[in-house]
Chains A and B, each alone.
Chain A
Amino acid sequence: DQQVKQNSPSLSVQEGRISILNCDYTNSMFDYFLWYKKYPAEGPTFLISISSIKDKNEDGRFTVFLNKSAKHLSLHIVPSQPGDSAVYFCAANAGGTSYGKLTFGQGTILTVHP
């Protein structure tokens, strides 16, 4: 049972436009959400996170939105750059006894064309 789902395996965007990556979750105990970016042959790197007490968090070109009622989060990248081309994973943590555990989605391959 996939508790964190990224239903779009890939996304293609023109340089300078907005990239929107989506993620849905089913476990209502999740209270902390993260996005990681991964280049080929490298480990994932942390991008941005959001706590369930917020509905938006910004860091430069990256903004994460959380809709708790819909159990949905999204990552917006504005403006998109060719260097943003990578696999993006959303992840969630349930806190409490789940400290130290992350549940990941399947990933979305983002390609930004010059």
Chain B
Amino acid sequence: NAGVTQTPKFQVLKTGQSMTLQCAQDMNHEYMSWYRQDPGMGLRLIHYSVGAGITDQGEVPNGYNVSRSTTEDFPLRLLSAAPSQTSVYFCASSYSPGMSQAFFGQGTRLTVV
């Protein structure tokens, strides 16, 4: 049972490049979400999904897109990377709408130069 798998673990992008952060879970969880962690800011919600085909914006959605075509996968797309998007990104999934016992991936450390 792999839990939540994020790829890549590290990435360096140039300003203006685009990329997709991958997130996959094998627990058949309906609820999935993406967070970014910045120093002194805790984790901030970017986008979330309550099931396949249903996504919504979180606190800091600008510059990011998501889609949820399957229950297992929830990729996060950076459309045109900016230095302000340098951060550690975490994907999470849960069976519970209250996100009780949410499982987090190990994170993707992204640097935009």
**Which chain A residues have a beta carbon within 8 Å of chain B's beta carbons?**
4, 6, 9, 32, 34, 36, 41-46, 49, 89, 91, 93, 95, 99-107
Contacts and interface: CB of A to CB of B under 8 A. Distances in A.
B99 A34 contact: yes
Contacts of A93: 97-99
Contacts of B106: 41-43
Contacts, number: 79
B25 interface: no
User: Which of B4, B45, B99 gathers the greatest number of chain A CB atoms within 10 Å?
Assistant: B99
Interface residues of B, number: 31
Contacts of A102: 33, 43, 45, 92, 99, 102
Contacts of A103: 45, 59
B81 interface: no
B49 A100 contact: yes
Nearest to A107: B42
Interface of B: 4, 31-33, 35, 40-45, 48-50, 56, 58-59, 90, 92, 94, 97-107
Nearest to B44: A104
B42 A100 contact: no
B33 to A, nearest CB: 6
Contact of A44 (B56, B97, B104): B104
Contacts of B44: 104
A19 to B, nearest CB: 19
A-B interface, 7 closest residue pairs, ranked by CB to CB distance from nearest: A43-B104, A99-B97, A104-B42, A104-B43, A32-B98, A100-B31, A106-B42
Contacts of B107: 41-43
B48 A43 contact: no
